[in-house]
Amino acid sequence: MIELYKRKIWNDDKTVNVIAEACLNDNPKIIVAACKFFLILDYDFDSDEEESDDNEDAKIQLLKQRKGSKMTKRREERLERAIKQVKRKSMRKGLVKFGTDFLPIDTIYDGQSFVEKLFSKLKKSNDQYEVKLFMLRLISRMIGRHKIQLLQFYPNILRYLNSHNKDKISEIFAMIIESCHELVPPESVKPVIEKIISNYVTEYCNNQHITVGLNCIREILMRMPLALDEDQIEYLCMFRTFRNKSVAAAAKSLVNYFRDVCPELLPKKMRGRFAVIDETNDKHTLIFGAQKINKDIEGIELLKKAEKIADDVNLATDRILDDKDLKKIKIL
């Protein structure tokens, strides 16, 4: 069925949901094949079609150039029928159209129940570590794309952060990031971030692990800024003076993010000279579950600021600008 979907023959929702049932199979090879199908973001089958067309043309040429015993009338009729059959198959393939704009993972009917079944199977599974990683990756991808709430997923993934295989830790971090969205309560993700800080973001850890850990925490906080308190954010931002350049750059990117989103969560010395706290980045506006509704065209305030700057510059053409004027222009 995966092959039929790839060849654009059976590419409807029913086919996708039958393949989704294969993720709950007892055979680990079937589970891995079905999970890979949903984890691939795009499919490129043009090369396969070109190869098949070339093969069909080669068959026709071979049939036409057939040599051997004397060509009788009966053999000529057989040859013509064979050539017509090959041409008919190629025409049928040309009539097949791929008419969906969605990825297979987006067309699963009941994402919540599917993820719950797959997660319960993962908890009872005795398969190899790689098979469990495929199942975990699919669960996290489903949570992120379908905005599913599976709160027991976050305590369970703590076990994988203690893995002895350090090469897989970036993969685990990617799963955690994918499973975070604005509808997940911050209290559920806090233990995961604290575990990352205690295991990977300390001065005694490898520089590469500190960098990856800081980048992972930044990506989580971009999806839910309330997942950490001010003391923990200050501790992470202190790494901006670390001796390693990659670690310092990761910490500075975290500082720059909070300067834009909510400067009040940073210490005063890290907020910057030109940080302005208004109704768009106030600490009290960050409420769990609240969505920002634009009453006007998004970004139109930037045009108003640009017009104000132009007016200030035009008014100042008749006199010399002082330090107050320059500061005002910089802030605007």
Alpha-carbon gap, residue 183 to 212, rounded angstroms? 25
| Fold of the domain spanning 151-285 | Leucine-rich Repeat Variant (1.25.10)
Instruction: Indicate the helix (H) or strand (E) that contains 114.
Output: helix 111-124
What's phi and psi for 253, nearest 5 deg? -65, -35
What's phi and psi for 280, nearest 5 deg? -80, -30
Q: How far from chain centre, in Å, is Cα 122? A: 22
Treating both helix axes as pointing N-terminal to C-terminal, what angle do 169-178 and 129-146 enclose, rounded to 10 degrees? 30
Q: What is the dihedral of CA 225, 227, 230, 235, to 10 degrees?
A: -110
pLDDT digit string (tens) for the chain, length 332 residues: 999 988 888 888 999 999 999 999 999 999 999 999 999 865 544 444 444 555 556 555 555 555 555 667 777 777 777 777 777 766 665 554 444 457 899 999 999 999 999 999 999 999 999 999 999 999 999 999 999 999 999 999 998 887 556 677 889 999 999 999 988 999 999 999 999 999 999 888 889 999 999 999 999 998 888 888 888 999 999 999 999 999 999 999 999 888 888 888 888 888 876 666 766 666 666 777 777 677 777 777 777 777 777 666 565 555 666 777 777 777 66
Read out DSSP for 19-79?
A: HHHHTT-S-HHHHHHHHHHHH------HHHHHHHHHHHHHHHHHHHT--SS---HHHHHHH
Q: 238: left (phi > 0), else alpha (psi -120 to 50), else beta? A: alpha
Domain boundaries, the chain: 2-106, 151-285, 300-331
pTM of the model as a whole: 0.71
Tell me the residue type at 184.
V
